[in-house]
Each structure stands twice: as structure tokens, then as C-alpha cells.
Structure 1
Amino acid sequence: MTMDIAALRRDTPACAGVVHFNNAGAALPPAVVVDTVVDHLRREAAIGGYEAEAEAGERLEAVYGSVARLIGAAPDEIAQVESATRAWDMAFYSLRFGPGDRILTARAEYASNYIAFLQMARRTGAEIVPIPSDESGAVSLSELDRLLDERVKLIAVTHIPTSGGLINPAEEIGRRARSAGVPFLLDACQSVGQLPIDVEAIGCDMLSATGRKYLRGPRGTGFLYVRRALLERLEPPFLDLHAACWTAPDRYELRPDARRFESWESHVAGRLGLGAAVDYALRLGLPAIRDRVSALAERLRARLAELPGVAVRDLGKRRCGIVTFTREGEDATAVKARLGAQAIHVSVSTASGTLLDFEARGIPDLVRASVHYYNDESEIDRFVAALAAA
């Protein structure tokens, strides 16, 4: 479909005041998301939190269906949680590891995930094995084939790393994981809302995502997908009276669906806002979103490559809306501050986020400019002009 960019920008009031190239951090929400959250908070103020939640019961239930449609899952395979990190943790810490068990991951894996691997290794004696990258910087499938054996108990990979434009070959990884009978946990916090996602086509058993990034939802929202066939084998690392039922003084029963990974207390207004954001993306169509974001990112890369002293640092054969670069003689934090003073938003990626990747590449930091479909070509022109003006 053809997007009406002018209308989408009018539906995003902040576009009038800022150039927001920090969508991989937190995108600007459309008006319907803001209104949905604020309206529910006003309703809580008017009649009470429990009462407002009960009144919105059907709409809250519908969010599970919307998220399921977004990723090609079933509603009972979806849990809503407060962040992608919490979603990922709830899945990862439900798995069991022992001495010598192996966790395969990417060299560009995100720090929160890798720290969890390190903790699990310290607790259980499991081993962390980073899969070498191919010549493009993505996970090497031939190296994955070499490493897959009976010791491997999990493949956990970030679909789109935080520190560059590459898209890891999730479907090819999924095919290998299924063939080997190894669970596959996909961190999709940067890809959900930016790319069409189909968990059946990918073959992942678990997927974590956030609301605040490319979905344009509220902060404090996220979700976890767990394949029904795996669900019965997983007990979350902690439970409450929502995740399980106290059936006798010495017994409890887990919920039969993915909501066993949720907690009773939640940000109700945020969940409604997440549903509004997902429905907004579904109406636009994820293929159209992908094509628009990709075109803007490639235009930005081309313009940056023309600037003296600027080096685009993105890896991957397939690339996304995240554009990273360095500028000779100016560190990334200074670039961010200088652009921010002109109401141009970017972020900075450092080694603390993807340590193995940064050490291998010998880069101290990167400027990260992440575009979305509501950005336009004039903003790219303004961005490049501001960057060039030392």
C-alpha cells in the first residue's frame, strides 16, 4: 500500500518540533496511542483502578489477539509483560541447564541477555558459545552447523542487534534449531513493528519484544511469545496468583497458557496503548512499513557516505532502519549533544551494550540514527546538513 506520509506526520504531533531519529530507542507514539493511555488513566481517576480495568475487559483481552496476529501466533501463546527484557528473562530462566550444556548466541548479542548467560553459566556450569560472524557481520550459518551437537540446549540470538543495521538470518537459524531439536529464543525487540514477523516461518520457540520501539507503543510494555508445544515444559522463574492457582496447602497449578509468565499487577493503560499501537501497525501493513523504513535508511546511509570524515559502520547483507556511523575528530556523545541542541534526536551505542562486537571491530562508540516510516526526506537533508556543520 502507499502511505500518506503527511497524514502520518500530522498524526504524530512531535514531528512538528523535532527530527526524531531515535526510534530504536523509543519511537514517537501516534495520537491514538497517547489518547488511549490518557483516557484510561482519566477513567481510573473517575471510577477507580479496578473498576476501570473491569470496564475495559474486552478491550484488554483483544490485545492478545492483536499481538498474535502481528507475529502469526495464537492468543494463548502470548504473555504481556513490562518490557522486552522481562519477557526474555522469563523465557530464559524457565529453561534448565547443567554442567557442560551449551548456549549458542551471536557475537553482537545485547548486554542484558549476555549477562543472563554469564549468571546462568556461573550457577550451573553451562557454557556460552558465541557463534562466529560471517563476512557480512551476521551469524555464520556454516559455523552454526559446525557447533550444533548434543551439548547445545539453547540457541538465543538477537534478530536486529542494537549497534548496527544488520538483520540476522532468523529463519535459517530456526530451520537448524528445529532440525536439531534445540529451543530457539529470538530477541525481536528491534524487529517487531519494523519487519513482518511470522513465528511459524522463523521457527522460533520463544520471542521477546517491546512496545516502545518500532511498534510506537508506550514505555513499560512488552510481550513474550512461547510456542504451545514448549509451554508445558516451562515453569517461570517466579509465580504469583495470576500465573498459578493455589489448589491445596501444599500444591499449586500453573496456568495452561502463556499468561503463566505474567504477573497479576500490570500497567493497564499501557496494555491498552500497546494494543492501539499494534492495531495501528497492522492497519498500515508491516510490508509497507518495512519498505518505507528500509528506503529511508538507505537514503540516509548514502547521504552520510558523501560527508568527509563520516564513516557508516553498518554491517549485514540485509539491513534495517538502524544507521550507525562515526565522525572523525568528534566522539559519538559530542555528536549527539550537538544535534540535540538543534532538536535532532539520535542515540549512542557503546561497548557496554554489545561488548564482543565492539571489541572485534575496535570501535569505542557509534552514533545511532534510527528512522521510522513517519520520518521524511527533508528531515534527512536537515540531519546531514547539521552533522556536516562543525
Structure 2
Amino acid sequence: MRAELPSVTARIYLNTGTFGPVPRVTWDAMRRHLDWAVTSGRIGSAGLDHWHELEAEARSQLAVVLGCRSEELALNHSTTDGVNTVLAGLSWRAGDEVITGSVEHPGLTEPLAHLAQTRGVVVRTVDTTGGRAVASVTAALNDRTRLVACSHVLWSTGEVLDLPGIVAAANGRGVPVLADGAQGAGAIAVDLTALGCDFYTVSGQKWLCGPSGTGALHVRSDRLDHLMPPWRGYVTNDRSPGAPGTELWPGARRFDVGAISLVALAGLAASLRWRIEHGIAAGADYAAALAEGLRDRLAGVPGLEVADPGGPTPFAAVALPPPVDPDTAVRRLESDGILIRWVPGRPLLLRASVGPWNTDQECARLVRALGGVLTGG
């Protein structure tokens, strides 16, 4: 894989949880599409066919990665697009409640805050760390609960939540579950049919190694009619242009957003094929083992407090001793050719996200470099 990823040989790339490395095949696919668009004029029967083929391929490849049917997937620009689609598509009354987790990304917390401000919905935050997610959600469920919205994989420590347990508790009370899968899809093996969640939203630019501006929303087939499309347009209508009347697509395609870049879709489809060809499950196992070794090494560095993710995950996160500024540490590491990031919260954490393209030697170098940051060496 490394030979096909120029960025991981240029630097030690341990920040896939923000942006994944872009494979050469993805760049080639995007360039070919752009060359074609420039020379062909982008339209005509061939252009329309190409558009529909790109959408169909991206949807079908995503279905393979996510373990679902392509009819259950809507194409959009990001995980946050999917979150907003669900929140805007459900029916709300003032006083309704949403249960969410204690360590969530702004891509979820900001839409929830907007829902509270505009619709009078009460957002209840519960502790979902340290294996407590199912118990916390179960205890918070009540007759006013209309949705549980939480991460599949916590963006701070990489802890994988017991999503089937959360779904069982919530669905048992008639409450749907929206899972933020930004750090799930491609990072761990995901089987949405087995997980059973009602809604699952993903981004293309992280662990799937696709371009920015790509993503998808999974809507479980029995939930389609419980979610109203928050917008209507050309891509939501299952009729020929100019035909009388409107009719929504029968599947999740009715929630597609308009004007997704076809260059980006070409790149996403290529990235998905590339990840599938290299084996997502095997890659996830390799990365989780590498990250476990990294956490063990970091635990031996005086002054570092390693966050316990409670199980296999491709993340390693540490809290720095108080005198050390996380942003300064990240910049120092970058000057040494190592890409990681810091994550806000209490405590602030440095987070390394380990991909199947990383090596044990790279992890060892990160540990040495962090030791140097702490000692001022």
C-alpha cells in the first residue's frame, strides 16, 4: 500500500482520522474525469451516462464497505450532511429529547445545538466512555426520548462503542439511533446489517482515503418513511426531467444532496475500490495491532498518560503533562516530519491515528520524538 501513497513516504502520516492519504489511483481517476470534462464539454448523452455511472459505482462500492444494500445509501458531502439530514427530517416538538454522548465531534454537537435552539428540543448528554455507553443510554431513555445520536468510534481515544447494545436498548423503547461513523468506516470493519442502527453517516476523506466533499448517509429500509427529505430537487425525483408531478426515489437516494462534484465522486469510487482490493478487515486488524503496540510504548514514556480505548482500535491518544502545550507539541512533531493532531476536551489529548500503511518503525520514531518534546531535546 505504501508505494501507492506518496504522502505516507514523504512524512510519517499518523493523522488519517482527520484526512486520509490519497492513493495514486484516486488522483488518476480524478484527473481522467477532469480531462474528459474539459475536452467533452461535460454534457450530452455520454455525459449524463457518465454522471449516473459514477453515482451508481460510488454507491455500490460504499455498500460493500459498509455491509449494506446500495438502495439504503444517500450520497452527500460529509458526515455532518448526514447528521443534518436526519435531524431536519424527523418530526419534533418542544420538549422532545435527544440523548447524545459526552465525547462527540462538533459535526454532531453543532447540529444538535441548532436543533435545541430552533425547535426547543432538549439535548441530554451522557457518559459514553470507558464501556459505559449502553448503561448510560439505557438509564437516560424515557417517554420524551425521540433519538439517540452518538459516535460509533470516539474521535478522541478511538474507543469503539457497543453500537448493537445501544440500538437494542433504544429500539426496544421505539427510539431510533443515529450513529456518527466518521471514525468507523474504513478504520474498523463495519457491517451495518449486523449493527442494526437506524441511521449511519460517514465521510469519504478520512479512513476511506477519498476526496474532501464526499460522504454518505445510510438509512435502514424500514426507517425510510419515518424521515422526510429536508429538501427536494432534481436528484431526489424519480422521474424524467419535465415529466408531470414528482415522485421520490423509493430508497435512500431520495436524501441525496445535489451538485456533488463528479471529480470527487470519481475519486471516491477509485479510493473505495482501492481499499476493498487491499482488504479493509485485514487492514483494520493490522492497524489495531500496530496502535496497541504504540500505546504500550507510549506508556513507558515518563509524563505521558495513555488513554485506554478499552479494546482494539487504530488510535493511540495521550495526555501531556500540564507544562507542555499540545499545539506546540504537534507543530514540533510536524517539523520533525510526523503528522498527528491534538483533540480538545478534558484533558486535551494528542491523537495518533494509525493506518494499515504505517509501520512499527514509524511508531517507534513517534515515541522517541515525543520523548524529546517532553525533555526539550
TM-score, normalising length: structure 2: 0.91
Check whether the contact 2:236–2:254 (CA below 8 A) recurs between aligned residues. Answer: yes
Q: What residue number does 1:374 align with?
A: 357
Q: Judging changes above 3 Å, is the alpha-carbon distance between structure 1 residues 53 and 342 closer, same or farther for their aligned structure 2 residues?
A: farther
Offset of 1:143 from its aligned partner?
A: 2.8
Cα distance in 1 between the residues matched to 2:132 and 2:264: 34
Quote the offset at 1:251 in angstroms: 6.6
Aligned amino acid, residue 87 of structure 2 = F
Give how far 1:149 is off: 2.8
Give the aligned CA root-mean-square deviation in angstroms.
2.2
Q: 1:72-83 to 2 correspondence within 5 Å?
A: 72-83=67-78
What is the distance in 1 between the residues matched to 2:18 and 2:132? 23
**What 5-or-longer segments of structure 2 have no aligned partner?**
none
Q: Contact 1:163/1:349 (CA < 8 Å) preserved in 2?
A: yes
Match of 1:4 in 2: none
Q: How does 1:103-182 map to 2 (within 5 A)?
A: 103-133=98-128, 136=130, 138-182=131-175
The superposition leaves residues 148-195 of structure 1 with CA deviations (integer Å, 9 ceiling, x where unpaired) of 232211111111122112111111112222322211111000110011
Which of these residues, 313, 321, 343, is aligned with residue 320 of structure 1?
Answer: 313
1:345 pairs with one of 319, 339, 348: 339
Equivalent-residue separation in structure 2 for 1:323 and 1:21 (angstroms): 10
1:242 counterpart SS class: helix
Contact 2:54/2:265 (8 A) holds in 1: no
Counterpart pick for 2:270 among 253, 270, 276: 276
Q: Is the 8 A contact 1:175 1:202 kept in 2?
A: no
What corresponds to 1:31 in structure 2? 24
Q: Is it true that 1:261 corresponds to 2:255 in the alignment?
A: yes
Go from structure 1 to structure 2 and tell me whether the alpha carbon gap of 1:250 and 1:117 turns closer, same or farther (over 3 Å shift).
Answer: farther
1:216 pairs with 2:209: yes
Aligned match of 1:384 in 361, 367, 372? 367
Aligned length: 369
Amino acid at match of 1:38: R
Q: Secondary structure at the match of 1:50?
A: coil
Query: Is the contact made by 1:178 and 1:203 (CA closer than 8 Å) also made in structure 2?
Result: no
Structure-1 separation of matches of 2:180 and 2:275: 19
CA distance in 2, matches of 1:193, 1:129: 29
Gaps in structure 1 of 5+ consecutive residues? 1-7, 352-357
TM-score (norm 1): 0.89
Q: Corresponding residue for 1:71?
A: 66
Aligned mates of 1:301, 1:64 — CA distance in 2: 36
Cα separation, partners in 2 of 1:322 and 1:32, compared to 1, 3 Å: same
Q: Does residue 101 of the first structure (1) align with residue 99 of the second (2)?
A: no
Quote the Cα distance in structure 1 between the aligned partners of 2:255 and 2:89: 9
8 A Cα contact 1:332 1:367, kept in partner: yes
- From 188, 191, 196, the equivalent of 2:181 is 188
